[in-house]
Chain A
Amino acid sequence: MTATIPAAPGSAAWIERHGRSAVDTCRLAQLAAADDDPRVFSLEGDLGDFGGLAFQQRYPERFLDMGIAEANLIGTAAGLAMRGKVPFVNTFGSFALMRACEQVRLELAYHQSNVKIAGTFTGIAAGFSGPTHHCGEDLAIARTLPGMVTLAPADAVAAWHLTLAAARWQGPVYLRLGVDATPVVYDETATFRIGGSNVLRDGGDLTIVAAGLTSVASALAAAELLAATGVEAGVVDLYCLKPIDGEVLAEAARRTGLILTVEEHSTIGGLGSAVADELAGSHPVPVRMLGLPDEFAHDVCSYEDHLRRCGLDAAGIAAAAHEHLRRWRR
């Protein structure tokens, strides 16, 4: 008999086994956290079929389906945290942060409850499902709540690591997870920490700061397109919007003098705002923000087409970078 060597997170074998969906790897990481820590609970809002049932099978006594009642879902998680548990709340980002926003604000943020929100169906990833299933405001809401750690993993690998980091962190955390499989950015060498960021590419002409599923991958692809036209763009994955990595942002601003932000979120209050808020006080440079327009989707559209329309694909990001450079460099 030969011992099975577990595949390192982010390795090809690991991705083969765990898949490319941040929702799925977050769920699996919750299970891994529960293996190590008997305080970890998983709470559902009747959405357990999105990967929650494995937790239910292994730890039925630590799995709670609270039905379609999100105010009670958040309050119940807070009550569990008061008894020293580490509850993960699995529901749509909009249900947790909008429908139950005041419960999140008071029971989680004000009380600094040790509750982790795994927010799914974020951005426009629900595609054909329409505006009721889109969520372009969650990062703005989460990061305005005092003490709420706000995370937007770039892929399934980052979601795994950041879920485990959230489980170890003492205090409330919001994780933005999208819907389906997305391009993989990271490999087994990747590291993450609350308050950190990853510089994925160096470049002296401008810095693209991106966060979240598809956005970081598209920013990297855009940097390749730009390189082919002689523009060297740096790329930073700002996976932790709060607490924000001010040092890396200031260094990028010093080095390149121009910032382009990319997010699948409203440009009001999200990543772009967070970057501008930080740099305004440390190293002000022109910041151009790419994101979702200040409007609801008005026709049925696939995820990919919708991203393209918003200029959030590689070509759109590269075009915005050229415009930003033309405006400020020539």
Chain B
Amino acid sequence: MAQPTTTAPPAGTDPPTETARHADPAQLREAALRIRRHIVRLAADSPGAHVGGSMSATEIMTALYFGGVLRVDPAAPGWPGRDYLIFSKGHSSAVLYAALSERGFFPVEELATYKQPGSRLPGHPSRDIPGVELATGSLGHGLPVAVGLAIGLRHDGAANRVFAVLGDGECQEGSVWEAAMAAAHYRLENLVVIVDRNGFQEDGPTEEIMGLEPFADKWRAFGWVVREVDGHDVAAVGEALHRVPFAAGRPSCLIARTVKGHGLSFTSNTHTWHYGKFSQEQRARALAELDDAGLDDAELDKAGLAGAAEARP
């Protein structure tokens, strides 16, 4: 029988008990690999997908959803005690949908409907997808909403955190810096920004189109505590995110140094595959490259990781 205690959290705010699963490094790598294979399929079997920014953000999303960082309940996406994930770089919907489905927010098989008539999975996330908090795709919109959420949570005395995933090119939008200023002013230690710093935007390298450097210094100057990490070292990303807030009374910014299109030889480190459709030949080549990385193709057709995990004794 539970003992009454004065420090018990309010009813209904306990985090789900299964948040810490998949924190094992091998399982994290497997989750990332499965997500990449989904991205390949989405880029080949639909009118096209934002491949580069999805591939670069794969380990970030893996750490969030499978590294025990986000306190979420796929069976109850609206659970009031959840952490909020604002996926501001909405064009990279392929990695978001792959992660959400693998985590169990909706069936993995539904990914096959991506951009198809009647689907609830458009090219940019809509408001009605389980696990999607904010419809994004117009850049620069996510962080202001994250600021409002963080203020509201603090007002309620709630322990939920707000994580916002931003693209680096997105940080050319002025609204990002309006919100960055407000987050520091209101001392939002429950707010975490993760920037997918892959160095490219649609038209080319960020430093050639509209330079962002010194990027970390900009966030610091706006009052954030900044950490930088190898954005493809999923354990390192998870480790960093387990340490938020980086300092009391200040918002946290994790700059994930990534490679655009990471994981495939022909999409890596270029803006050419910012958006595109894979031919059947490219599809086969991509899946073969990922197979070489160690995943049995047949595995992907089974239920997502969430279902597989629950099926285990």
Chain B 127-162, CB-CB to A under 8 Å as 1, else 0, gives 100000111001011011111111111011000000
| B149:A71 contact, CB within 8 angstroms | no
Instruction: Please measure, in the bound complex, the distance between the C-alpha atom of A87 and the C-alpha atom of B155, giving whole angstroms.
Output: 13
| A111:B135 contact, CB within 8 angstroms | yes
Given A61-B155, A80-B152: A106 touches B138 (CB 8 Å cut-off) = yes
**Interface residues of B toward A: which range?**
20 to 34
| A103:B148 contact, CB within 8 angstroms | no
Query: Which residues of B (100-144) have their CB < 8 Å from a CB of A?
Result: 127, 133-135, 138, 140-141, 143-144
| B140:A77 contact, CB within 8 angstroms | no
Q: Is B182 an interface residue (CB 8 A)?
A: yes
Given A106-B141, A107-B141, A111-B135: A79 touches B147 (CB 8 Å cut-off) = yes
- Which of A62-70, A217-225, A295-303 participates in binding chain B? A62-70
| B151:A64 contact, CB within 8 angstroms | yes
Instruction: Please measure, in the bound complex, the distance between the C-alpha atom of A111 and the C-alpha atom of B150, giving whole angstroms.
Output: 18
Partner of B144 from the list A72, A85, A87 (CB cut-off 8 Å) is A72
| A83:B149 contact, CB within 8 angstroms | yes
| B151:A80 contact, CB within 8 angstroms | yes
Give chain A residues whose Cβ lies under 8 Å from the Cβ of B149.
Answer: 79-80, 82-83
- Interface majority SS (helix, strand, loop, mixed), chain A: helix
Least CB distance from B245 to A in Å reads: 18
Query: Which residues of A (82-100) have their CB < 8 Å from a CB of B?
Result: 82-85, 87
Least CB distance from B165 to A in Å reads: 15
Given A76-B145, A111-B127: A83 touches B135 (CB 8 Å cut-off) = no
Chain B 200-230, CB-CB to A under 8 Å as 1, else 0, gives 0000000000000000000000000000000
| A71:B140 contact, CB within 8 angstroms | yes
Count of chain A residues near B, Cβ 8 A:
28
Instruction: Please measure, in the bound complex, the distance between the C-alpha atom of A316 and the C-alpha atom of B10, giving whole angstroms.
Output: 64
Q: Which of B140, B143, B145, B182 has the most CB of A within 10 A?
A: B145
CB closest chain-B residue, reference A76: B148
Q: Is B297 an interface residue (CB 8 A)?
A: no
Give chain B residues whose Cβ lies under 8 Å from the Cβ of A131.
Answer: none
Q: Is A75 an interface residue (CB 8 A)?
A: yes
| A79:B148 contact, CB within 8 angstroms | yes
Instruction: Please measure, in the bound complex, the distance between the C-alpha atom of A72 and the C-alpha atom of B174, giving whole angstroms.
Output: 9
Partner of B152 from the list A71, A75, A82, A106 (CB cut-off 8 Å) is A82
| B182:A67 contact, CB within 8 angstroms | yes
A-B contact pairs, 22 of them (CB 8 A): A61-B155, A67-B182, A67-B185, A69-B181, A71-B144, A71-B178, A72-B147, A75-B147, A76-B144, A76-B147, A78-B145, A79-B146, A79-B150, A79-B152, A80-B151, A81-B148, A82-B134, A83-B155, A84-B152, A85-B152, A102-B141, A103-B144
